Structure 1
C-alpha cells in the first residue's frame, strides 16, 4: 500500500521538494553572475556615453578652431611682430591670460595684439604729424607740435589696452549675471544623478542663449574633464579663464568634495545660495546708490528749467514795466 500525506503520495512530495531545492541551488549560484553581467552592461553604457560626449566636445572644438583661423591681416601682423621681436619688448605681463578672459584664446592673439598696438601708434603718430603740418594754418611752436604728435602716438599705443580692459569687464559682468543660474542647473543635474562631466555639458547647452560666454567656458571645462587626467587642472583653468571669484569658489568646492568624499550636491546648494544672496545684495546696493547718482543730473537739467518756469513770468512783467 502506497504511503500518502494529505492525499498526496509521499514520493511525489519528495520529488517536488528535491526539484525546488535543486532549482534554488542553481539560482543562488547564477544570481551573482547575472548581477555582474548587469553591472558590466551599465559600465559599458556609461563608457559609450562618455565616448559620445567626448566626440561631441571634439567636434565643437574643431568648429571653434575653424573660426579661429587667422585672416590675412592677422598673419601680416604676426610676421611684423616676429621679425621685429616686439612681443618680448612691449607685451605686458599676463597678456595671454587677459586675452583669454576677454574671449580671445586663439594662439596668434598675443602677437596680433602687440602688432595692433604698434600699428595704431604709427597711424596716430602720422595723423598728428599731418594735423600739425598741413591742417593747422596758423603758426605753432615746435614744442607744441612735438607734444601733439607724441600724444597722438601714445593714444594709439594704449587704445588696444583700454579696449581689452573694457572687453574683459563686459564679458565678466555677463558671466557674473548668469553664474547663479548656472549653479542652480548644476545642483539640479547633480541631484538627478548625473556625473560632473554630464552636468557641465547640460549646463553648457541650457545657458547658451542667455550667456554665450559662460556657456563656452563650461563647454571647454567639459572637454578638459573628458581628456585631461587631472581634474584639479581642469577646474583651475576654468577659474583662470573666467576670472570670477564665484568660479574660483566653485573650483575649490568641487576639489574639496572629490578629495574628502562629501556630497557634491549639498556643497553646490550652499554655493548656489551664496551666489543668489550676493546677486541680490548687488542689486540692493545699486538701488540704494540711485538717489545719490541722480542728484547731479537733477541739478544740471531740472533746476534750470524750474527756475525759468518760476522766474520767467516775473522777469517778463519787470521787463514790460
Structure 2
C-alpha cells in the first residue's frame, strides 16, 4: 500500500481533521468538568476544616464532654485505610520519616489532616519496597541477560534506593505547582481585596468575596482564602489566621502581606493603606518577573535557532548553487563522453 498516496488523499485528510476536532472537543468539555469536580472537592474539604475548627473552639470554650464528643465525631481519618494506620503504628513510621517540616510541606501541597500524613508515611514506606520487588522481577525474570545474579540484585537494590526518594519528589512537584498557581493569582487578589476594603467591607467579607471571585483563576488560592475566612470567624487571635495562611502557602510575598495585616490589626493602622502598598509592590514584582522572562528569552532561543533554523537557511541558500554546479559537471561529463 502506498502510504504517501493514502496520506495525501482528500478523504483521509478530512477524516483525520474530523477525528482531531472531535478529540479536541471531548478534551475541552471533559477538562471543564474535571475542574468543576476538583473545585467542588476543595470546597467540601474546606467545609470539613471549618466544622473541625468549630468543634475545637466550642470544646475549648465550654469545656464540656458534649463538645468533646462533638469534636471526636468529626474524623478525617476515616479517609485513611485501616491497614495504613496499622502499618504506620506498627513500624513507627512517624519517627522514621516525619520531621518538623513534614506537616508544613503537606499543607503547602494542599494535603491537610492526620489522614494525609498517614497516607504520606505509608507511601514513603511502601514505595521503595514495591520498586525493589519490581526491579528484581524485571532484571531476574523478564530480562536476565548475561549478568550474574548478584549484579542483578545489586542493580535492584540501587533502583529501590532511588525509589525511596520518589514520594519526596512528587510532593515537591505538587508544592511547586500549587505555589505557581497561587503566585500568579496573588496580585489580582490584592487588588480585589483593596477594592473590597475601600468599599467598606470588613476583612472577613472581603476575603470571602475575593475567594469566590478568584476561584476560576486559582482554585488553590480560593481554597486557602476560604479556610482563612473560617479561621478568622472562629479563632480568637486573628493574627494566627494570617500566620497560618502564610505558612500554608510558603510564599514570601504572601507572608509579607500577612505580616502587614497583622501589624495593621495590632496597632490600629489603616488596612486599606497597607493593602494599597502591598498591591503596588505585587504589581511591580509581576512586571519585574515578566521583564526577567523576556530578558531570558534570547539566550533560550539560541540553541533552537542554531539547530533548526540555520541548517534550513543554509539549505535554501546553497541548494540552487549546488544544483547548478552538479548539473554543469554532469553535462560536461556527458558532452566529453
Alignment match, 1:40: none
Rounded to whole Å, the distance in 2 between the matches of 1:196 and 1:76 is 44
Are 1:61 and 2:30 counterparts?
A: no
Rounded to whole Å, the distance in 2 between the matches of 1:313 and 1:120 is 60
SS at structure 1 position matched to 2:164: helix
Rounded to whole Å, the distance in 2 between the matches of 1:77 and 1:307 is 63
Alignment match, 1:305: 312
Q: How does 1:159-308 map to 2 (within 5 A)?
A: 159-308=166-315
Q: How does 1:93-112 map to 2 (within 5 A)?
A: 93-112=100-119
Does structure 2 retain, via aligned residues, the 8 Å contact 1:182–1:207?
yes
Name which one, 1 or 2, has greater alpha-carbon Rg: 1
Deviations 1:33-61 (A, max 9, x none): xxxxxxxxxxxxxxxxxxxxxxxx99952
Deviations 1:80-123 (A, max 9, x none): 12211112112344111101100111321122112112222111
SS at structure 1 position matched to 2:113: coil
Does structure 1 retain, via aligned residues, the 8 Å contact 2:50–2:231?
no
Stretches of structure 2 that go unaligned for 5 or more consecutive residues are 1-42, 52-73, 331-337
Output the TM-score relative to the length of structure 1: 0.75
The Cα shift of 1:154 comes to 2.1
Rounded to whole Å, the distance in 2 between the matches of 1:220 and 1:178 is 17
1:124 to 121, 128, 131: 131
SS at structure 1 position matched to 2:296: helix
Residues 313 and 126 of structure 1: CA distance in aligned 2, closer, same or farther (over 3 Å)? farther
Q: Which 10-residue stretch deviates more, 252-261 or 95-104? A: 252-261
SS at structure 2 position matched to 1:108: helix
Q: How does 1:144-155 map to 2 (within 5 A)?
A: 144-155=151-162
Residues 170 and 221 of structure 1: CA distance in aligned 2, closer, same or farther (over 3 Å)? same
Q: Which 10-residue stretch deviates more, 189-198 or 300-309? A: 300-309
Stretches of structure 1 that go unaligned for 5 or more consecutive residues are 1-56
Rounded to whole Å, the distance in 1 between the matches of 2:98 and 2:160 is 17
The Cα shift of 1:311 comes to 4.5
2:92 to 85, 96, 116: 85
Deviations 1:274-297 (A, max 9, x none): 101100110111011111111112
Does structure 2 retain, via aligned residues, the 8 Å contact 1:117–1:156?
no
Rounded to whole Å, the distance in 2 between the matches of 1:155 and 1:170 is 23
Rounded to whole Å, the distance in 2 between the matches of 1:266 and 1:197 is 17
The Cα shift of 1:146 comes to 3.3
User: How many residue pairs get matched?
Assistant: 264
Output the TM-score relative to the length of structure 2: 0.71
